């Protein structure tokens, strides 16, 4: 068969395969057109789950008579006109494909009247011939679009439609998401002549909460916290459910970028990371969150259905969302700061596998706000608080240790297979198919000397409420803390941490800082440098986490006995020789 240009009807039906997946897809495209037209009243009328009839009526700006026929053509739009417009999209639609694609697989009637026009005009098209018929009509200011007999000319597509009940459930879920995206719009949803949803405008915060309760459930709103954080051109606001109330069933999980509905992987990852170990593997987070960002910093033209976006500064956005939600959730769950004490005879085990954590999409919260890593951290620990050894460890002379020259290759990431803390002093871990023994105390001090006390600014400053004694103590030690790499402000019993020492970049400041302050106040001797080394990371677990995340650096520096690779061949031979004797 020779190469040829496809007929317009066939090309539109192929495009419809991407745009029109089911009746809910039609509703989405048409309602987004209404919102782009400035409508604040939208009625959605459905018959037989949308397969028989979909009617969208709005009070938007309308379409002029001369443009009605053009509106049903492919790649015809009023929303962008240049590449510069494409790089800063603020409208929900912009491709100019929806109406042409929908009319190619249905019988479509578009009636519209701009306020400046004397009368309304109506355009009709159906998939058989794609010819647009235009005639006068009676209609108030705004537009109505009626879609009849969806997929009537594509039986293969029509047979894949589910039951009317299932298809309408998808439409109802879509309307919920749309209604949560635009509180300034009133919504009416009718199915088979019965009003299913009727939502008034909700412009005040109280009215918005009522709408959230109506759509997500009263229990969600009662157990959710309102979040509002801004940083430069970024703003995150909305509601997050407290971890103890999260269930195994999928609940409200709605996120929006500049008012656009999203199911973005990066945002979901950041949200799940913020919840981290506060949730079990089976629990699902619940949230209604809105991210406002400069349109030039986000590309919405990367997904056929526009469900995903690409951020130009993806790490910045990820860290901003994760940091803001982490701080909010820590305030909701203060009990997470408690430390459990167990017998010292049982070594504490770190989480088994990075792979399992990644499958759950749950990265733990002891990753830094300023530069989070995308590797799993240990999720649980029970053990005695760590006390550094006074004497330096002696270099072992056993043959089970590899030669000093054996080093781990420099790498930006570490694949942690398994790790174990023994005697609250040694870390045994399998990293990149190599077993290592790490002296926790010596390696922590070595990192301190290697990376120094240079302050590393946090992406989002951490805010904590202080007791009077804590505030006085911090103010009295401000100069020394500054030399140690901390940058903070204290005002009206509020602590704002703006920077931490570089080697703490992977730690959750909001989690360990309250414990650190409590430990300081309980000490009789306030020799701050000594206390810093003992209490900055007061458990062997937290030290182990920092060491693992800094393992590439640690494995390259000396003395070599701080991190020693094991020679398995020599170890096995040693055991065999022992058995033989």
Q: What is the 3-state secondary structure (H, E, C) of 491-504?
A: ECCEEEEEEEEHHH
DSSP state of 403: P
* Cβ-contact 422, 434 below 8 angstroms: no
Burial tier of 137 (Cβ tally within 10 Å: 0-12, 13-18, 19+)? middle
Of 155, 32, 148, which is closest to residue 98 (Cα–Cα)? 32
What is the chain's mean pLDDT, rounded?
74
Strands (E), 293-415: 298-299, 310-311, 348-349
Question: Can you give the C-alpha Rg of the chain in angstroms?
Answer: 30
Strand 224-231's sheet: what is its strand order?
A: 224-231, 234-241, 287-292, 253-257, 260-262
* Cβ-contact 475, 332 below 8 angstroms: no
DSSP state of 350: P
Strands 41-47, 186-191: pairing is: parallel
Would the CA dihedral through 17, 18, 21, 26 be positive or negative? negative
Q: What is the pLDDT of residues 517-530, one digit of tens each?
A: 777 776 644 454 45
What structural domains does the chain harbor? 8-197 (3.30.565.10), 217-335 (3.30.230.10), 339-581 (no CATH)
Mean pLDDT of 450-463: 68
* Cβ-contact 227, 325 below 8 angstroms: yes
Angle at 549 between CA 345 and CA 388, to 5 degrees: 40
As a 3-state breakdown, the chain gives helix, strand, coil percent values, each rounded to 5, of: 40, 25, 40
Q: Looking at per-residue confidence, does 337 or 560 come out higher?
A: 560
Euclidean distance between CA atoms 270 and 275, whole angstroms? 9
Report CA-CA distances (Å) from 122 to 9, 36, 102: 21, 20, 16
| Whether residue 480 has pLDDT greater than 90 | no
Confidence grade of residue 507 (pLDDT, cut at 50, 70, 90):
low
Strands 260-262, 234-241: pairing is: unpaired
Euclidean distance between CA atoms 183 and 446, whole angstroms? 55
Would the CA dihedral through 198, 206, 317, 542 be positive or negative? negative
**Of how many residues is the chain composed?**
581
Mean pLDDT of 213-240: 93
Euclidean distance between CA atoms 288 and 268, whole angstroms? 12
Strand 563-565's sheet: what is its strand order?
A: 348-349, 416-422, 426-431, 434-439, 563-565
* Cβ-contact 189, 140 below 8 angstroms: no
**3-state SS class at 66:** helix
| Whether residue 411 has pLDDT greater than 60 | no
Mean pLDDT of 552-560: 50
Confidence grade of residue 539 (pLDDT, cut at 50, 70, 90):
very low
Q: At what angle do helices 528-535 and 509-522 cross, to 10 degrees?
A: 130
Euclidean distance between CA atoms 521 and 531, whole angstroms? 11
pTM of the model: 0.61
Share of residues in the chain with pLDDT > 70 (%) = 63
Strands 287-292, 298-299: pairing is: unpaired
| Whether residue 79 has pLDDT greater than 90 | no
Q: At what angle do helices 265-275 and 314-332 cross, to 10 degrees?
A: 30
Mean pLDDT of 491-509: 75
**3-state SS class at 224:** strand
Q: Which of 297-301, 336-340, 406-410, 505-509 has the lowest mean pLDDT?
A: 336-340
Q: What is the pLDDT of residues 115-124, one digit of tens each?
A: 999 999 999 9
Euclidean distance between CA atoms 188 and 59, whole angstroms? 13
């Amino acid at each position: 068969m020779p190469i040829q240009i496809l007929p317009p009807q066939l090309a539109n039906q192929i495009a419809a395969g991407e745009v029109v997946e089911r009746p809910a897809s039609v509703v989405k495209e048409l309602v987004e057109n209404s919102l782009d037209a400035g409508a604040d009243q939208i009625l959605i009328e459905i018959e037989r789950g949308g397969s028989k009839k979909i009617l969208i009526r709005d009070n938007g700006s309308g379409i002029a008579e001369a443009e009605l026929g053009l509106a049903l053509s492919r790649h015809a739009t009023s929303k962008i006109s240049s590449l510069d417009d494409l790089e800063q999209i603020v409208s929900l639609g912009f491709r100019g494909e929806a109406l042409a694609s929908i009319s190619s697989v249905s019988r479509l009637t578009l009636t519209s009247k701009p306020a400046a026009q004397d009368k309304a005009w109506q355009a009709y098209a159906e998939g058989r011939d794609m010819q647009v018929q235009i005639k006068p009509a009676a209609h108030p200011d705004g537009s109505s679009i009626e879609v009849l007999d969806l997929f009537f000319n594509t039986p293969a597509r029509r047979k894949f439609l589910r039951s009317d009940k299932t298809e309408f459930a998808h439409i109802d879920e879509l309307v919920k998401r749309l209604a949560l995206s635009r509180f300034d719009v009133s919504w009416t949803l009718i199915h088979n002549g019965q009003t299913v949803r009727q939502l008034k405008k909700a412009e005040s915060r109280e009215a918005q909460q009522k709408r959230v309760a109506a759509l997500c459930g009263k229990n969600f709103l009662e157990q959710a916290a309102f979040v509002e954080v801004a940083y430069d051109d970024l703003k995150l606001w909305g509601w997050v459910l407290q971890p103890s109330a999260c269930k195994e069933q999928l609940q409200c999980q709605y996120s929006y970028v500049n008012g656009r509905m999203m199911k973005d992987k990066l945002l979901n990852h950041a949200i799940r990371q913020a919840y981290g170990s506060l949730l079990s593997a089976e629990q699902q987070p619940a949230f209604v969150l809105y991210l406002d960002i400069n349109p030039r910093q986000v590309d919405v033209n990367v997904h056929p259905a526009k469900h995903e976006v690409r951020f130009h500064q993806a790490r910045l956005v990820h860290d901003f969302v994760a940091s803001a939600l982490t701080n909010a959730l820590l305030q909701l769950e203060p009990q997470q700061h408690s430390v459990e004490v167990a017998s010292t005879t049982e070594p504490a085990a770190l989480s088994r596998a990075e792979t399992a954590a990644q499958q759950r999409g749950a990265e733990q919260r002891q990753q830094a706000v300023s530069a989070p890593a995308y590797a799993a951290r240990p999720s649980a620990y029970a053990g005695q608080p760590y006390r550094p050894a006074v004497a330096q460890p002696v270099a072992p002379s056993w043959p089970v240790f590899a030669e000093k020259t054996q080093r781990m290759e420099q790498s930006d990431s570490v694949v942690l297979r398994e790790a174990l803390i023994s005697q609250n002093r040694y870390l045994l871990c399998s990293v990149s198919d190599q077993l290592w023994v790490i002296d926790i105390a010596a390696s922590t001090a070595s990192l301190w000397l290697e990376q120094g006390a240079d302050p590393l600014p946090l992406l989002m400053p951490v805010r904590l409420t202080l007791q009077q004694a804590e505030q006085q103590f911090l103010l009295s030690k401000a100069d020394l803390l500054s030399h140690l790499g901390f940058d903070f402000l204290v005002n009206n019993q509020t602590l704002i941490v703006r920077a931490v020492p570089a080697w703490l970049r992977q730690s959750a400041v909001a989690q360990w800082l309250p414990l650190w302050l409590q430990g300081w106040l309980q000490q009789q001797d306030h020799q701050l440098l000594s206390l810093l080394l003992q209490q900055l990371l007061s458990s062997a677990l937290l030290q182990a986490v920092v060491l693992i995340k800094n393992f590439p650096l640690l494995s390259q520096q000396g003395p070599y006995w701080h991190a020693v690779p094991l020679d398995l061949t020599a170890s096995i031979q040693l055991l065999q020789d022992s058995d033989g004797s």
